[in-house]
A and B are shown apart, each in its own frame.
Chain A
Amino acid sequence: MIVYLINRVGQSLFVLSAMSLIVFVGIYVIGDPVQILVSPEASAEEIAQVRRNLGLDLSLPTQYLRFLSGATSGDLGSSFVYNESAIVVILRHFPATLELALAAMFIAIALGIPLGVWAGIRSETFSAKAIMAASTVGASLPTFWVGLILIMCFAVYLGWLPASGRGATRSVFGVELSIFTRDGLAHIILPALNLALFKVSLVIRLARAGAREIVGQEFIKFARATGQSPARIVLGHLLKNIMIPIVTVLGLEFGSVLAFSVVTERVFSWPGMGNLLVRSLFLLDRPIVVAYLMLTVVIFVVINFTVDVIYTFLDPRIRFSAKAG
Chain B
Amino acid sequence: MRAENILEVDGLQTWFHTRKGVIKAVDSVSFSLRPGEILGLVGESGSGKSITGLSILGLIDPPGRIVSGEVRYKGRNLVGLPEPEIRAIRGRNIAMIFQDPMMTLNPVLRIDTQMRWALAAHEQVDKNAARARSLEVLRLVGIAAPEERLGSYPHELSGGMRQRIAIAIAMLNKPDILIADEATTALDVTIQAQILSEMQNLCAATGTALIWITHDLSVVAGLADRVCVMYAGRIVEQGLVDDVLDRPMHHYTEGLIGSVPSMNARGKPLKQIAEITRSLFDLPSGCAFRNRCPKVIAGCSEPIPVLERNGHQFRCINPPVPAP
A, B in one complex: yes
A residues in contact (CB < 8 Å) with B: 124, 217-219, 221-229, 232, 236-237, 240-241, 314-317
Which of B57, B88, B89, B106 is the one whose CB lies under 8 Å from A241?
A: B106
State A228–B91 Cα separation when bound (angstroms). Answer: 8
Among all A-B residue pairs, the 7 with the closest Cβ atoms: A227-B91, A226-B91, A227-B90, A218-B103, A226-B118, A225-B96, A316-B153
Least CB distance, B304 to chain A, in whole angstroms: 33
State A31–B132 Cα separation when bound (angstroms). Answer: 76
Residues of A within 8 A of B91 (CB): 225-228
Residues of A within 8 A of B62 (CB): 124
Q: Indicate if the CB atoms of B87 and A241 lie closer than 8 Å.
A: no
| Known A-B contacts A226-B170, A227-B121, A228-B118; A219 and B90 likewise in contact (beta carbons under 8 Å) | no
Least CB distance, B206 to chain A, in whole angstroms: 17
Residues of A within 8 A of B103 (CB): 217-219
Which of B100, B109, B121, B155 is the one whose CB lies under 8 Å from A226?
A: B121
Least CB distance, B60 to chain A, in whole angstroms: 11
In the complex, B323 has a CB within 8 A of chain A: no
| Known A-B contacts A218-B100, A218-B103, A221-B98; A226 and B108 likewise in contact (beta carbons under 8 Å) | no
State A227–B57 Cα separation when bound (angstroms). Answer: 10
The 6 sampled A-B contact pairs (Cβ below 8 Å) are: A223-B117, A225-B91, A227-B91, A236-B117, A316-B155, A317-B155
Q: Is the interface of A mostly helix, strand, loop or mixed?
A: helix
State A315–B106 Cα separation when bound (angstroms). Answer: 11
- Give the size range of B's interface with the partner: 20 to 34
Which of B88, B90, B110, B117 is the one whose CB lies under 8 Å from A225?
A: B90
State A303–B304 Cα separation when bound (angstroms). Answer: 69
Which of A218, A221, A232, A314 is the one whose CB lies under 8 Å from B121?
A: A232
Q: Indicate if the CB atoms of A240 and B109 lie closer than 8 Å.
A: yes
Output the residue of B103, B104, B108, B155 with the most chain A CB within 10 A.
Answer: B108
Least CB distance, A182 to chain B, in whole angstroms: 41
Q: Which residue of B lies closest to A244 (CB)?
A: B108
Q: Which residue of A lies closest to B107 (CB)?
A: A317
Least CB distance, B306 to chain A, in whole angstroms: 30
Which of B87, B96, B105 is the one whose CB lies under 8 Å from A219?
A: B105
In the complex, B249 has a CB within 8 A of chain A: no
Residues of A within 8 A of B104 (CB): 218-219, 222
In the complex, B59 has a CB within 8 A of chain A: yes
State A127–B128 Cα separation when bound (angstroms). Answer: 43
State A217–B170 Cα separation when bound (angstroms). Answer: 18
Least CB distance, A323 to chain B, in whole angstroms: 17
Q: Which residue of A lies closest to B63 (CB)?
A: A124
| Known A-B contacts A229-B87, A232-B121; A241 and B98 likewise in contact (beta carbons under 8 Å) | no
Q: Indicate if the CB atoms of B98 and A222 lie closer than 8 Å.
A: yes
State A217–B118 Cα separation when bound (angstroms). Answer: 17
Least CB distance, B92 to chain A, in whole angstroms: 6
Least CB distance, B160 to chain A, in whole angstroms: 17
Residues of B within 8 A of A218 (CB): 98-100, 103-104
